[in-house]
Amino acid sequence: MIENIPLQYFLIVGTLMFFIGVFGFLTRRNLITILMSVELILNSVNINFVAVNRYLYPNNLHGHFFTIFIIAIAASEAAVAIAIIINIYRKFSSINVENVSSMKN
């Protein structure tokens, strides 16, 4: 049963996922992979919310609601990002971050 797994395990998984996501966002060079890293970050937040809601505050549903909205928004964000990535592929013939930089810093 789920009660046999302590809350800490969920929080550790959530935090690990969050930082793996941040690490991937900063080091990956492919736009799609960067987008996947963002999804990791958002899903780590989902794990946090749902686990905390289930273990610490079973009387309310704020965490569950929040998670549902995060999933929906992550989907729309991915849709917009992928649409722009397709446009970038048409313009630059590449989705590597190194090649997609026409502006000087």
At residue 30, what are phi and psi to the nearest 5 degrees?
-100, 130
Q: Any idea what DSSP says for residue 6?
A: -
Residue choice 27, 29, 57, 96 for contact with other proteins (CB under 8 A)? 57
Minimum distance of other proteins from residue 3's CB (angstroms): 19
Q: Which three-class secondary structure state does DSSP give residue 30? A: strand
- Can residue 10 be called a binding residue for other proteins (CB under 8 A)? no
Q: Which two tokens stand for residue 27?
A: 């080091």
Q: Which three-class secondary structure state does DSSP give residue 96? A: strand
- Can residue 38 be called a binding residue for other proteins (CB under 8 A)? yes
Residue choice 13, 20, 22, 36 for contact with other proteins (CB under 8 A)? 22
C-alpha to C-alpha distance for 68 and 77, rounded to whole angstroms: 14
- Within 13 Å of residue 94, how many CA atoms lie on the same side as its CB? 10
- Can residue 18 be called a binding residue for other proteins (CB under 8 A)? yes
Residues lying near other proteins in the complex (CB under 8 A): 14, 18, 21-22, 25, 31, 34-35, 38, 41-42, 44-45, 48-49, 52-53, 56-57, 60, 62-63, 65-66, 69-70, 73, 76-77, 80-81, 83-85, 87-88, 91-92, 100-103, 105
